[in-house]
């Protein structure tokens, strides 16, 4: 047996369906050999067909969760997901500055659930830009999120690069613009940082079982950074992990089904 390597604090919402949010964060960090901790920002009642209800956690309690974990256990990387209001964003940013300003920060700017339910108040977008983006070691927006942050529509890979450059202009150290929403047989993600632009390409897997891909990739990258990987290597390993999780998805649910987060722990057996 080996000890977990890399302490990752996930600050995000809970997914009762187990495919995204805090549940995906914990599964991913654990499957990649890290130690997962949490500060839950909201409870959601949802399944593969959509979000039916949200109960927000107060900003002070979110900050208390972060503070207690950081004071005692510490963290090698912090990953944020669903931060639904400006007040929550300000509390998370303030606690990060107070206790973990030197810790790498992976920001997944969660705005909309896979089924289309809004997970971020419109009034909070400016707070997200002003507070979280400028603190991010790496930001991981999908195309709709990148459009909201950059301020223009994205229709191709060149637009993805322009959006990434615009987001870097908001203060992020690096940004991974995920291209899964573009049509085509190839999925391209673009990583931009101070060292330039790097493209990652894979053939598209035609499946409805993609719930939680964004949360999972961000947590996989956070785990890599917590374990000392360079950003490009963390992205490469994270994308490979997500791809295998999609390929071996268990097929649960009637809608956007969950992936197989545990493929690194228990080999998939399609005879069962």
Catalytic residues: 178, 210, 212-215
Q: Is 82 exposed, middle or buried (0-12, 13-18, 19+ CB in 10 A)?
A: buried
- Which residue shows structure tokens 């060292």? 195
Is there a contact between 187 and 180 (Cβ–Cβ < 8 Å)?
Answer: yes
Give the residues across from 272 on adjacent strands: none
Which structure tokens are listed for 236?
Answer: 């490469």
Under DSSP, the state recorded for 128 is I
Q: Is 64 exposed, middle or buried (0-12, 13-18, 19+ CB in 10 A)?
A: middle
Which structure tokens are listed for 36?
Answer: 């997962």
Residue 243, by phi and psi: left (phi above 0), alpha (psi -120 to 50) or beta? Answer: alpha
Per-residue buried b or exposed e for 162-200, using 16+ beta carbons within 10 Å of the residue's own CB: bbbeebbebebbbbbbbbeebeeeebbbbbbbeeeebeb
Q: Is 53 exposed, middle or buried (0-12, 13-18, 19+ CB in 10 A)?
A: exposed
Residue 218, by phi and psi: left (phi above 0), alpha (psi -120 to 50) or beta? Answer: alpha
Is there a contact between 241 and 204 (Cβ–Cβ < 8 Å)?
Answer: no
């Amino acid at each position: 047996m080996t000890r977990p390597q890399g302490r990752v604090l996930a600050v995000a919402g809970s997914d009762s369906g187990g495919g995204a949010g805090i549940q995906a964060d914990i599964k991913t960090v654990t499957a990649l050999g890290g130690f997962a901790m949490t500060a839950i920002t909201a409870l959601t009642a949802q399944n593969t067909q959509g979000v039916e209800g949200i109960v927000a956690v107060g900003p002070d309690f979110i900050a208390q969760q972060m503070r207690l974990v950081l004071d005692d256990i510490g963290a090698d990387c912090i990953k944020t997901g669903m931060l639904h209001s400006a007040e929550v964003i300000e509390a998370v940013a303030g606690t990060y500055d107070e206790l973990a300003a030197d810790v790498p920060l992976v920001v997944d700017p969660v705005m909309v659930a896979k089924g289309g339910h809004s997970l971020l108040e419109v009034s909070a977008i400016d707070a997200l830009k002003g507070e979280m983006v400028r603190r991010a070691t790496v930001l991981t927006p999908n195309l709709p999120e990148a459009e909201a942050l950059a301020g223009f529509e994205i229709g191709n890979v060149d637009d993805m690069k322009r959006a990434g450059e615009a987001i870097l202009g908001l203060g992020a150290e690096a940004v991974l613009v995920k291209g899964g929403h573009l049509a085509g047989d190839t999925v391209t993600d673009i990583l931009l940082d101070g060292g330039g632009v790097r493209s990652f390409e894979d053939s598209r897997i035609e499946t409805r079982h993609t719930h939680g891909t964004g949360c999972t990739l961000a947590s996989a990258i956070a785990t890599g950074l917590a374990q000392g990987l360079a950003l490009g290597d963390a992205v490469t390993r994270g994308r490979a992990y997500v791809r295998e999780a999609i390929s071996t998805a268990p097929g649960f649910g009637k809608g956007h089904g969950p992936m197989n987060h545990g493929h690194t722990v228990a080999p998939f057996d399609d005879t069962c």
